[in-house]
A and B are shown apart, each in its own frame.
Chain A
Amino acid sequence: MTKAPLVEMKGVHKRFGGVHAVKNVSLDLYPGEVVGVLGHNGAGKSVLMAMLSGALPIDEGEIHINGAKADIRTPRDARAYGIETIYQTLALADNLNAPANLFLGRELKTAWGTLDDDSMEAEARQVLHRLNPNFTNINDAVVNMSGGQRQVVAIARAIYFDARILIMDEPTAALGPSESAMVKDLTKKLSAEGIGIFLISHDMHDVFDICDRIMVMKNGENVGMYPIEDVTKDDVLSLIILGRLPEDWQPRSKQKVDAV
C-alpha cells in the first residue's frame, strides 16, 4: 500500500456525557479497499462511522481525506467529500416514494428551478432496476415496500452519486440469501472501481468474503487492525470478545510461508 490513504482518522474521541464512546481511535482506508469494522454492540463502531459521515460531530482528533485535513460537521459536508453512507436504519422517509428518497437533499431540477419528478423517476428506474430487476413499484411510498426493496433504495442512494468512500452499516442484516449475495457482489464491484469501503458487520462469512482488512473495536478502543489473511475467524472472535489475540498468535500468512 504505497498509495495515499483515502481516509485517515487520527486520534478520534467522542464522549456522550460521562460515556467515552470512542477513545483515541486511528484508522485508515485506501482506494479500492474494503475494511471491516467489527465489535460488539456498543463497542463504538457505529459512533466512529457516524463521525465520518457527519451524523455526529467529532469531539477531538482529525479526519484527513486524500491527505488533506477535512472539516466534516454535517452529513452535507460528508457528501461533499464523496462520503456516502448506508445506515443500518436505512434512513428513508417512509412516506415518500423511491425516487424522492433516492434524490432526497439533491433533487434534480428543471430549468425553472422546480423539482423534476419525471427525470428523477426515470433515473431511479434505471439504477434500481440494475440492483434488482424485479423492482417495479417504485412509485409506492417506501413504507409499503419489502425489507429487501427498502435496502435496495438505500444502497442505490449511496452509489448513484459517484461515492468515493462508502460506509455500509450492516447492509445485509435485513436481506434474504440471494439479495445478500447481490450486495456482496456489488461491494466487490464497487471496490474494484477504486471506491474505499468501510463495512460494519456481525456476519463473519460476509467479513471474510469481502474484506481486505479488519479493524476491531472494544469499549471504544481500537484493539487491532490486521490484513484479513493474517487472522482466522477464531482470532477475530478473540479480539471482539477479549480485546486481544490468542497468546500464541502470529500472522497466519507468515505461518503458511513458514510451513512451506
Chain B
Amino acid sequence: MNDEAQALRKPGSAGSRLKALIRSSEIDTRMLTMVMVLIVLWLGLHMITDGLFLTARNLYNLAVQSSVVSIMATGMVLVIVARHIDLSVGSVMGFTGMVIAWLQVDIFTLGAAWNWPLTILLGLALGGVIGAWQGYWIAYRSIPAFVVTLGGLLMFRGFAFLVTDGRTVAPMDPTYQLLGGGIDGSIGAMWSWVFGIVAITIVALLTWQNRNSRSKHGFTPKPIVMELALLLLWAALIIGFVMVMNAYTKPRTDIPRGIPVPVLILIGVVIVMSLITKVTSFGRYVFAMGGNPRAAELSGINVKKTTMMIFMIMGVLCGIAAVITTARLNAGANSMGMLAELSVIAAAVIGGTSLAGGVGSIAGAILGAVIMQSLENGMVLIGVSSAMRQVVIGLVLILAVWFDTIYKKTR
C-alpha cells in the first residue's frame, strides 16, 4: 500500500519504478504472487508427470473438477471476510444434492421436461433456507458461526443419509446430466468461440467505460499502454482457454468438446459474486463488518441482516455445487461433499482471504481453488496415495496461512 509513497521518495531506482508501474495497473501484488505459484506448480507437475499434466484432456478435467470447489469458495470469501466461518458447506451440499436426486428420480416423473428445472429451483431454495436458518442463529442469537456450522456439518450429513436411508439414487434426467460436464456436457467449438469473443468484447467495454468515468470526474486515468497491455493479456487468456477446451475431443472422434457447462456456471457465479462484492452496498457492508464490526454498526449498517444474508448466499451456492455434483455423478449419494468444507476454506485462504476478516477477493478464491485442485490432480497423475495427498493438502493449508501472516507483517 505504501508503494506510491516509496516511489515518490526515490523516483530514480528501477525497483520503485517497477512498483509504481505495478501499482498503476492496480494489480494486487499478492494476486501476482499466486499466479506465479500456479505457473510454477503447473510447470513442475508437467515435468514430473512426463508431459501428462498440461494436456488439453487434463486441463479440461481440471477445469471441471475445480468448478465445484470454486463455486462454494466464492461464498466462503464473503463468510470469512465478515469474520465468520462455515464448516457445514460440504454437508449442506450433500443434503441438497440428495434432495434434488430423490425428488427428480423417486418423486417426480423422470423424463418430464419440467422435472429437472423444478428440482434445481427447489434445491437452490433449500440451500438458501438452510443458510438463512444457520445465519439466524449466528446473527440474531449470537451463537458463534463455528458452533452453528459445526452442528450443521453433523445435522445435514445426517439428513443426507435420512433422505433415502442411505440408498444411492440414480440415474438422473439425461438433460440434467449435461450440467455435470460429461461427454456431452460442453458447448462445442463454435459456441466456445462465440463465448470467447463476447467475453473479450465485454472486458474491452468495461475498460473503456471505467476510463470514461474516471476522466469525467477529473481523475488521471491509468496509462493507456498499461490498459492496452492488460486488455491484451485478458484476450490472450480467454483465447488460450477456448483453444485448450476445443483441443480436447470426444472419445473416438475429432469433435471438439469446447467449454464444459460447469465452467460456464462457475463463470456466471464469479460474475454475480464479483458484482455483489464490488458494486453493491451489501458487498461494501460485508467488508466493513470484517474491518471493524463496531464501526459498521455505528454507521447504521444492519449487521444482523447482512450476516444472515451472507449465510443465505453461501447456502444457495452449496445448492449450485450440488447440482453440478449430482449431474456429474449421474446419481445422488449421501457421501457427496464429504470434507469439501476443508477444500473450500483452503481455496479461499490460499486465495488471499484473511482469517482475521476484512480482506479477500473472489478472483483470489478461484485461483486458490485451481491451485488446490492442480495439486490434487497432479498427485493423482503421479500416483500419490490418497492418504499422502491428504497430508500434502493439509500442509499446504498451513503454509498458506503462514504466508498470509508474513505478508501482513512485511507490508
Contacts from A to B (Cβ < 8 Å): 53, 55, 74-76, 79, 85, 87, 89-96, 100, 104-107, 109, 114-115, 118-119, 121-122, 137, 140-141, 144
Contacts and interface: CB of A to CB of B under 8 A. Distances in A.
A85 B298 contact: yes
A118 B279 contact: no
B241 to A, nearest CB: 28
B55 to A, nearest CB: 41
B202 to A, nearest CB: 16
A79 B280 contact: no
Contacts of A74: 300
Given A93-B288, A93-B358, A107-B281, A137 B5 contact: yes
Contacts of B299: 75, 91, 104-105
Contacts of A119: 217
Contacts of B213: 118
Given A75-B299, A90-B295, 5 more contacts: A75-B298, A107-B281, A114-B275, A115-B280, A119-B217
Contacts of B279: 114-115
B292 A121 contact: no
B1 interface: yes
Interface in B160-216: 213-214, 216
Contacts of B358: 93-95
Given A75-B297, A144-B2, A121 B219 contact: yes
Interface in B256-276: 275
Contact of B296 (A85, A87, A93, A106): A93
Interface string B207-251: 000000110111100000000000000000000000000000000
Contact of B218 (A55, A100, A104, A122): A122
B30 interface: no
Interface string B287-326: 1101110111111110000000000000000000000000
16 contacts: A55-B297, A75-B300, A87-B298, A91-B295, A91-B298, A93-B287, A93-B358, A96-B287, A100-B284, A105-B300, A105-B301, A107-B284, A114-B279, A122-B217, A137-B4, A144-B2
B290 A95 contact: yes
A144 B5 CA distance: 11
A87 B295 CA distance: 9
Contact of B280 (A55, A114, A122): A114
Nearest to B360: A95
B59 interface: no
A94 B291 contact: yes
A114 B210 CA distance: 14
B208 to A, nearest CB: 14
B214 A118 contact: yes
Contacts of A95: 287, 290-291, 358-359
Contacts of A107: 281, 284
Interface string B2-29: 1011000000000000000000000000
B116 to A, nearest CB: 33
Given A74-B300, A119-B217, A140-B1, A92 B280 contact: no
Given A91-B295, A118-B214, A144 B1 contact: yes
Contacts of A92: 292, 295
Most buried by A among B295, B296, B298: B298
Contact of B291 (A93, A114, A121): A93
Given A75-B299, A75-B300, A105-B301, A96 B288 contact: yes
